[in-house]
């Protein structure tokens, strides 16, 4: 602890264990996968099995090859001791007689077997690595694509830390299994089955005594399966919390340092980290019990066989050779059992990871892609927007909008104003289809947004918000995000149009400047300009600006304002702004209060009336120079 | 867009002095568990001994009591086998139990230290390092280390011991053949060394790529709204596909390497066995060896197969642990650029007057050639409020970040009551300075926790007062009041609401110096007026530095400083500057007729491809 140690520990009374706060429901930030209801868990297990079968399906042929190679390897390995026997029993006598033939034959067979084993093992491991990696690739992509597909509302409660946890630590737990588990599983299963067969063939009564161990093994395994499944589920969840906290503290490091938050953060991190330590220790203790438990059953069985078999030999019921063979085989029987328990453990851990992934894949987007999309009309009608009896709330008990009706003809620029929390951003989000209304419809070009294919909707409409995100890459890449096929000239033209060209060309590498992490080096205003250029390049029929100019200084805003004049000319625009300079140029002003439109008209008309807009406008005028 | 290629500034592929050096350096985490580790080694060896003894006893049973028809002897020996079996299971249980407790404890201890260290590293470090890369270090890398500590290391020791013991026994049994077996260690060593080298490179690449993937995922989560707004899912998916493809290819390469080595590690003992068989058979035929000796030799040699076979896995595990240790040490070795000096002093809040002075301050971001600030002079008198005005990108926010020492000046100095900021203890300085950033940073915790970020001991009343000042009483109307958990980054709140919470947080610490970066930009005119009048009361006896874009907010300031080209070019009251400084007027005037401003693009033709922009 470096800087942290300089700060005293917070007093215990200021440390409510509930630092995380209360969420609408305890599972709010979880996917179905983290539900603890038994029925849900059972459903989930079934789904994760289905998912596994699904990702393995394309590799059926390879799996077949892998099994064939494994069998070959096994046969070759098994032939080793047999050839040793042959060499000792059959080759030494002829050699004494000066006949090296048999020994040479054995040596050649031995070399051949070793060669085959080498090739088969190498082939098997290569193929199984291929299958494993392909499965991991498939899972990563599927889950990632699904995350992209899930609506903003989902991500708001799920948190990015959890998303990261799913795509890193949970996948890792599966990778661990893929890396080493499969081989030992197949080998062990093969050995156990074949040895059991041999035992039964050797001496039925003695084998029956051995088989008495089976119910015990079964019972122990079932206990382990149950206990470890819930233990590993807890582990994965504890890990997700560690990741959530870690990611947030690193992202907010400026606030953390400026507020000397380190000690308190360390405190919280230590507690989630310790939860993870305890939950994984618990899981490891389970395997620490299970694995020697298997060993114990095996050892006791050996002692019993020794005793009972010895007595049978004494009674003349069976031969010494059989007993010797029996004991040797018994060893080969319980040895892989041990490996199997190890494998079982990684399997349980991977299953818990897979369940989390299946749970994510199982989330149905609340904003769904239409099954039969309706195309948007071409031509001027494309940009007509209509809210029809729209009600919406983020929580059922507190509606933000009630029965909102609003028609914006194509090409009109509408300014939406009102106090913070009036629902302005909600209108913007509904129009951009980040959410679907609880009741009523939002239409674009006469088509319900729920019936428009996402790709088409995004071509037609762009939302620019106050939070401007810049992706890793160059400034040009970030502008090009608006239209991926745009050439450099188009990118530059967009930047010029918005007045961003000058600052961009003054950057060290101009348009090729890397914006670093979350645009670290660009100021908030510069980032907004880039976001504007991006929207301009996208050239949508409808442009929604949600406080998109708040970080600009006055002259720059004025420039953007001028640019907007021509940019918005042929488009429908919904502009949310606190600064009324933006509003003045609109065709129409809507004043929103508590989810209702209280004033509606051209700005010049509203100023004359004695309404809210006139009030705000006067205040704003006063605030200017 | 490039996938933020990897290990941050870490010089990837740099050849270390010794690949295991960093792993060895982590031994300090093993030290508290040294006694446990000793015990579990003993338990492990004893368990192995017991395991070997059981078949020996079984052999005795067959050769002795059964042959001699001695029922009592049979029961005695069977009882011994049972005891040995119980002992073995018990010893394994003890080993695994102790091992799991200590290995997870070590993992947690390292994670805690890495986190603590990261919290102490300066903002410029975090600007350079994507948090995905840091994250993969405290997750994937640490679990690799844990696996090594709990299995790899243990089996490495155990298998080496087994190998040595068996080889010694073999040499005693038959020196010539024994030496042959011992000689087989040479190719094994060569294979292992070669594998180790290649695997080291591959696993480092893999771990870095895992970090890249984590970074990409993190960035996707960050930019989710933008992605949704533009419908760029397919593009991001393609980017992710490329990054996972790289990981996939590395994984396959690693798999191939492991496949070849494992197969070779199988082949060598097999060929040795064949050679021993042929040579042994010849020796028996020549009468230099008995058949019994040959059988004993061969069965003893079979005991070597597992230790050799597992060698590949153990080396792989060890190499991964070594690279994981490298990656963790990379972070731990980064010294905080901003830290307390050995003789740093702490100021007492009540004695602080709050005279903030910038003397010839210059600043450039690490790795950047262009200075953001140069030769900046400014004095803020105790209790005075100074607004900083400047064009977009003129360095206003950078200037503010110097006050709580999120960055250190590159030239000149900043003093508080005459003390160089760098001579103060960081904790003391940051306890005196309240900051609200333009982009409010909120965490997915309760509102209370977010508000009391800088003062965990704040009382109910103080919080209430701070909320009232910032016009943020809406927080009480949230479903569970201040206990309500905010969504990530508080994104479920409106921009204005977030800004007001951040402001409440800043005033809550009762700062001697308040630093506010455009703190009211997202507020509507009405709320802004309310916040301003409340803020005025606070600012009356607090030294404050504000970044301001709007004329309305400037009313808060006693004086205004104009920031141009990285230095302060004019200081005065708002009215003075308006009258005397055209640039200032241009920056704040809503009138479009204002003269063009230095460094600020002006253009009358905003259409794409229009006339070239005019720069004054």
Chain B residues whose beta carbon lies within 8 Å of the beta carbon of residue A623? 525, 528-529, 550-552
All CATH 1.20.1560.10 domain ranges in chain A, comma separated = 26-362
pLDDT at residue B594 above 50? Answer: no
Instruction: Give one DSSP letter per residue of B178-191, joined into a string.
Output: HHHHHHTHHHHHHH
CB-nearest partner of A547 from B224, B487, B522: B522
Do residues B5 and B308 lie in contact, with contact meaning Cβ atoms separated by under 8 Å?
Answer: no
Residue B547: strand pairing partners: B388, B517
Do residues A347 and A177 lie in contact, with contact meaning Cβ atoms separated by under 8 Å?
Answer: yes
Q: Which of A176, A173, A185, A174 is nearest to A343 (CA)?
A: A185
All CATH 3.40.50.300 domain ranges in chain A, comma separated = 380-623
Which residue ranges make up each domain of chain B?
21-333, 355-588
Tell me what the mean pLDDT of segment B336-361 comes to.
90
pLDDT at A437: 93
pLDDT at residue B175 above 50? Answer: yes
Chain A residues whose beta carbon lies within 8 Å of the beta carbon of residue B129? 517
Angle of helix A262-314 relative to helix A213-251, nearest 10 degrees, comes to: 170
Lowest average pLDDT, out of A26-35, A134-143, B165-174, B321-330, goes to A26-35
Number of alpha carbons in the 13 Å side-chain half-sphere of residue A558: 23
Lowest average pLDDT, out of A560-569, B364-373, B535-544, B604-613, goes to B604-613
pLDDT at A351: 86
Chain A residues whose beta carbon lies within 8 Å of the beta carbon of residue B401? 254
pLDDT at A624: 66
Percent of chain A with pLDDT over 90: 24
**Separation CA B153–CA B158 (nearest Å):** 9
pLDDT at B595: 37
Chain A residues whose beta carbon lies within 8 Å of the beta carbon of residue B255? 125-126, 128-130, 132-133
pLDDT at residue A101 above 60? Answer: yes
Question: Can you read off the two tokens belonging to residue A77?
Answer: 């390995």
CB-nearest partner of B391 from A156, A538, A553: A553
Buried (b) or exposed (e) across A172-205, using 16+ Cβ within 10 A?
A: bbbbbbbbbbbbbbbbbebbbeebbeebeebbee
Do residues A360 and A422 lie in contact, with contact meaning Cβ atoms separated by under 8 Å?
Answer: no
Rg value, chain B, Cα: 35
Interchain CB distance below 8 Å, B449 and A459: no
Length of chain B: 616
Interchain CB distance below 8 Å, A481 and B397: no
Residue B616 DSSP SS3? coil
Interchain CB distance below 8 Å, B127 and A472: no
**Cβ count near A310 (within 10 Å):** 26
Quickly state the pLDDT bin for B71 (edges 50, 70, 90).
confident
Q: How many CB pairs under 8 A join A and B?
A: 641
CB-nearest partner of A466 from B495, B525, B586: B495
pLDDT at A181: 59
Lowest average pLDDT, out of A53-57, A439-443, B61-65, B514-518, goes to B61-65
Do residues B352 and B512 lie in contact, with contact meaning Cβ atoms separated by under 8 Å?
Answer: yes
Query: For strand B411-416 and strand A542-546, is the pairing parallel, antiparallel, or unpaired?
Result: unpaired
Question: Can you read off the two tokens belonging to residue B242?
Answer: 């490329």
CB-nearest partner of B127 from A155, A156, A520: A520
CATH architecture of A26-362: Up-down Bundle (1.20)
Chain A residues whose beta carbon lies within 8 Å of the beta carbon of residue B113? 1
pLDDT at B489: 63
CB-nearest partner of B600 from A420, A556, A562: A556
CATH architecture of B355-588: 3-Layer(aba) Sandwich (3.40)
More confident residue, B178 or A43: B178
Chain A residues whose beta carbon lies within 8 Å of the beta carbon of residue B392? 503, 523, 525-526, 529, 551-553, 556
Do residues A55 and A139 lie in contact, with contact meaning Cβ atoms separated by under 8 Å?
Answer: yes
CB-nearest partner of A253 from B62, B126, B446: B126
pLDDT at B296: 76
pLDDT at A138: 94
Backbone angles phi, psi at A337, to 5 degrees: -55, -40
pLDDT at residue B53 above 80? Answer: no
Interchain CB distance below 8 Å, A623 and B65: no
* For A431, nearest residue in chain B (alpha carbons): B229
Question: Can you read off the two tokens belonging to residue A433?
Answer: 């289809």
CATH for A380-623? 3.40.50.300
**Separation CA B458–CA B207 (nearest Å):** 43
Instruction: Give one DSSP letter per residue of A498-510, joined into a string.
Output: HT-HHHHHTSTTG
Name residue, tokens 């490039």.
Answer: B2
Q: Which fold has domain B21-333?
A: ABC transporter transmembrane region fold (1.20.1560)
Chain A residues whose beta carbon lies within 8 Å of the beta carbon of residue B609? 493, 496
Measured CA distances, B227 to A462, A526, B47, B220, B238 (Å): 10, 19, 58, 8, 13
Contacts of B53 (CB under 8 A, 6+ apart): B84
Q: pTM, whole model, 2 decimals?
A: 0.84
CB-nearest partner of A117 from B3, B266, B401: B266
Backbone angles phi, psi at A543, to 5 degrees: -120, 130
* For B506, nearest residue in chain A (alpha carbons): A259
Highest mean pLDDT among A459-468, A519-528, B404-413, B448-457: B404-413
Quickly state the pLDDT bin for A201 (edges 50, 70, 90).
confident
Quickly state the pLDDT bin for A281 (edges 50, 70, 90).
very high
Quickly state the pLDDT bin for B244 (edges 50, 70, 90).
very high
Interchain CB distance below 8 Å, B213 and A257: no
* For A500, nearest residue in chain B (alpha carbons): B601
Chain B residues whose beta carbon lies within 8 Å of the beta carbon of residue A20? 444-446, 449, 485
pLDDT at A44: 78
**Cβ count near B182 (within 10 Å):** 17
Do residues A35 and A41 lie in contact, with contact meaning Cβ atoms separated by under 8 Å?
Answer: yes
Residue B436 DSSP SS3? strand
**Separation CA B436–CA B439 (nearest Å):** 8
Quickly state the pLDDT bin for A183 (edges 50, 70, 90).
low
Quickly state the pLDDT bin for B256 (edges 50, 70, 90).
very high
Q: Which of A71, A175, A187 is nearest to A132 (CA)?
A: A175
Looking at every residue in chain B, the average pLDDT score rounds to 83
pLDDT at B488: 66
Interchain CB distance below 8 Å, A273 and B227: no
Question: Can you read off the two tokens belonging to residue B22?
Answer: 């960093």
Residue B286 DSSP SS3? coil
Question: Can you read off the two tokens belonging to residue B516?
Answer: 């506010």
pLDDT in tens, A304-335: 888 888 888 888 887 777 777 777 777 777 77
Looking at every residue in chain A, the average pLDDT score rounds to 83
**Separation CA A433–CA A451 (nearest Å):** 11
pLDDT at residue A557 above 90? Answer: no
pLDDT in tens, A566-602: 778 788 999 987 777 777 778 899 999 888 899 898 8
More confident residue, B408 or A41: B408
* For B96, nearest residue in chain A (alpha carbons): A288
Interchain CB distance below 8 Å, B221 and A160: yes
Chain B residues whose beta carbon lies within 8 Å of the beta carbon of residue A91? 281
More confident residue, B273 or B248: B248
Residue A416 DSSP SS3? strand
CB-nearest partner of A503 from B393, B430, B433: B393
Chain A residues whose beta carbon lies within 8 Å of the beta carbon of residue B396? 523
Tell me what the mean pLDDT of segment B399-417 comes to.
93
pLDDT at residue B526 above 60? Answer: yes
pLDDT at residue A76 above 70? Answer: yes
Residue A426 DSSP SS3? helix
Interchain CB distance below 8 Å, B89 and A292: yes
pLDDT at B339: 87
Contacts of B145 (CB under 8 A, 6+ apart): B26, B106, B107, B110, B321, B324, B325, B328
């Amino acid at each position: 602890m470096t800087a942290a140690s300089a700060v005293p520990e917070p007093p215990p009374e200021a440390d409510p264990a509930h630092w995380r706060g209360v969420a609408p429901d305890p599972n709010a930030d979880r996917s179905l996968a983290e539900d603890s209801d038994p029925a849900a868990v059972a459903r989930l297990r079934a789904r994760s099995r289905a998912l596994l079968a699904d990702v393995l399906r394309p590799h059926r042929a390879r799996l077949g090859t892998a099994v064939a190679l494994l069998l070959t390897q096994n046969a070759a390995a098994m032939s080793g001791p047999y050839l040793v026997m042959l060499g000792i029993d059959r080759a030494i006598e002829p050699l004494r007689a000066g006949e090296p033939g048999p020994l040479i034959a054995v040596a050649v067979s031995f070399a051949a077997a070793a060669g085959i084993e080498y090739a088969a093992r190498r082939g098997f491991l290569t193929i199984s690595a291929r299958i494993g990696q392909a499965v991991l690739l498939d899972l990563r992509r599927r889950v990632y694509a699904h995350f992209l597909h899930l609506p903003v509302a989902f991500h708001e409660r799920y948190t990015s830390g959890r998303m990261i946890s799913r795509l890193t630590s949970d996948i890792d737990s599966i990778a661990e299994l893929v890396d080493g588990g499969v081989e030992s599983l197949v080998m062990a299963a093969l050995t156990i089955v074949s040895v059991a067969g041999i035992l039964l063939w050797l001496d039925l009564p003695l084998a029956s005594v051995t088989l008495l161990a089976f119910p015990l093994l079964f019972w122990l395994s079932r206990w382990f399966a149950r206990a470890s499944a819930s233990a590993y589920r807890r582990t994965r969840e504890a890990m997700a919390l560690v990741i959530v906290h870690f990611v947030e503290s690193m992202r907010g490091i400026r606030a953390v340092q400026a507020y000397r938050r380190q000690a308190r953060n360390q405190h919280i991190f230590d507690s989630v980290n310790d939860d993870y330590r305890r939950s994984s220790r618990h899981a490891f203790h389970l395997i620490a019990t299970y694995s020697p438990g298997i060993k114990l059953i095996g050892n006791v069985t050996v002692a019993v066989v020794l005793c009972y078999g010895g007595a049978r030999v004494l009674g003349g019921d069976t031969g010494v050779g059989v007993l010797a063979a029996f004991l040797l085989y018994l060893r080969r029987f319980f040895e892989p059992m041990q490996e199997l328990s190890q494998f079982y453990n990684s399997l349980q851990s991977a299953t818990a990871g897979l369940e989390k992934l299946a749970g994510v894949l199982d989330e149905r987007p609340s904003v769904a892609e239409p099954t039969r999309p309706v195309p948007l009309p071409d031509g001027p009608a494309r940009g007509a927007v209509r809210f029809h009896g729209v009600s919406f709330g983020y929580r059922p008990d507190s509606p933000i909008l009630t029965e909102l009706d609003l028609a914006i003809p194509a090409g009109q620029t509408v300014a939406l104003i009102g106090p913070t929390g009036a629902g302005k951003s909600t209108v913007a989000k509904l129009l951009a289809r980040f959410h679907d209304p609880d009741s009523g419809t939002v239409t674009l070009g006469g088509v319900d947004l729920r019936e428009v294919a996402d790709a088409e909707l995004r071509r037609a409409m762009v939302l620019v918000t106050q939070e401007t995100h810049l992706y890793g890459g160059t400034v040009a890449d970030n502008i090009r995000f608006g239209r991926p096929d745009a050439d450099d000239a188009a990118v530059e033209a967009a930047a010029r149009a918005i007045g961003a060209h000058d600052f961009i060309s003054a950057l060290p590498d101009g348009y090729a400047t890397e914006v670093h992490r979350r645009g670290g080096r660009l100021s908030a205003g510069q980032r907004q300009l880039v976001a504007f250029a991006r929207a301009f390049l996208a050239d949508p029929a409808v442009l929604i600006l949600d406080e998109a100019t708040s970080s600009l200084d006055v002259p720059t805003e004025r420039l953007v304002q001028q640019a907007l004049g021509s940019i918005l000319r042929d488009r429908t625009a919904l502009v949310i702004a606190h600064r009324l300079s933006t509003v003045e140029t609109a065709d129409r002003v809507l004043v929103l209060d508590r989810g209702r439109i209280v004033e509606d008209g051209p700005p010049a008309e509203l100023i004359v009336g004695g309404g809210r807009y006139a009030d705000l406008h006067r205040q704003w005028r006063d605030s200017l120079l | 867009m490039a996938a933020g290629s990897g290990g941050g500034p870490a010089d990837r592929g740099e050849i270390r002095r010794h690949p295991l050096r960093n792993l060895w350096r982590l031994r300090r985490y093993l030290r508290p568990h040294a006694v446990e580790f000793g015990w579990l080694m003993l338990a492990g060896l004893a368990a192995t001994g017991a395991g070997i003894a059981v078949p020996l006893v079984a052999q005795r049973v067959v050769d002795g009591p059964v042959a001699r028809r001695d029922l009592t002897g049979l029961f005695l020996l069977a009882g011994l086998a049972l005891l040995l079996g119980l002992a073995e299971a018990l010893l394994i249980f003890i080993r695994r139990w102790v091992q799991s407790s200590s290995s997870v404890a070590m993992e947690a201890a390292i994670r805690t230290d890495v986190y603590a260290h990261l919290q102490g590293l300066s903002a410029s470090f975090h600007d350079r390092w994507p948090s995905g890369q840091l994250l993969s270090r405290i997750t994937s890398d640490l679990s690799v280390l844990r696996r090594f500590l709990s299995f790899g290391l243990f089996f490495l020791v155990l298998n080496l011991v087994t190998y040595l013991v068996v080889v010694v026994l073999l040499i005693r049994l038959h020196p010539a053949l024994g030496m042959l077996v011992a000689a087989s260690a040479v190719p094994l060593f060569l294979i292992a060394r070669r594998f180790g080298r290649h695997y080291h490179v591959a696993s480092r690449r893999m771990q870095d790529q895992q970090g890249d993937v984590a970074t990409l995922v993190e960035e996707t989560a960050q930019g989710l709204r933008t992605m949704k707004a533009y419908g760029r899912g397919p593009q991001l998916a393609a980017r992710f596909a490329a990054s996972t493809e790289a990981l996939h290819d590395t994984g396959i390469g690693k798999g191939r390497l492991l496949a070849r080595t494992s197969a070779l590690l199988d082949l060598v003992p097999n060929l040795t066995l064949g050679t021993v068989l042929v040579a042994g058979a010849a020796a028996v035929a020549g009468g230099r060896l008995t058949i019994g000796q040959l059988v004993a030799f061969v069965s003893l040699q079979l005991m070597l197969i597992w230790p050799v076979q597992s060698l590949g896995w153990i080396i792989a595990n060890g190499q991964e642990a070594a690279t994981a240790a490298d990656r963790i040490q990379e972070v731990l070795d980064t010294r905080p650029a901003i830290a307390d000096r050995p003789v740093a002093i702490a100021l007492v809040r009540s004695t602080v007057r709050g005279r903030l002075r910038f003397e010839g301050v210059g600043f450039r971001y690490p790795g950047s050639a262009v200075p953001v600030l140069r030769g900046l002079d400014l004095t803020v008198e105790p209790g005075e409020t100074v607004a900083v005005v400047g064009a977009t990108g003129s360095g206003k926010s950078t200037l503010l970040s110097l006050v709580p020492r999120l960055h250190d000046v590159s030239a000149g100095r900043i003093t508080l009551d005459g003390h160089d900021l760098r001579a103060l203890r960081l904790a003391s300085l940051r306890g005196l300075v309240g900051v609200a950033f333009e982009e409010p940073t909120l965490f997915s915790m309760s509102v209370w926790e977010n508000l009391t970020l800088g003062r965990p001991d704040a009382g109910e009343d103080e919080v209430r007062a701070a909320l009232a000042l910032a016009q943020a009483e809406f927080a009480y109307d949230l479903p569970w009041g201040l206990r309500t958990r905010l969504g990530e980054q508080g994104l479920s709140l409106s921009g204005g609401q977030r800004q007001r919470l951040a402001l409440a947080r800043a005033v809550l610490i009762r700062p001697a110096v308040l630093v506010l970066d455009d703190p009211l930009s997202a507020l509507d005119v009405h709320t802004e007026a309310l916040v301003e009048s409340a803020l005025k009361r606070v600012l009356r006896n607090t030294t404050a530095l504000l970044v301001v874009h709007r004329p309305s907010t400037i009313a808060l300031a006693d004086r205004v400083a104009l920031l141009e080209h990285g230095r302060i070019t004019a200081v005065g009251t708002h009215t003075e500057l308006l009258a005397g400084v055209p640039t200032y007027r241009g920056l704040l005037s809503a009138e479009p007729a204002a003269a063009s401003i230095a460094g600020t693009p002006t253009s009358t033709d905003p259409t794409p491809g229009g006339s070239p922009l005019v720069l004054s």
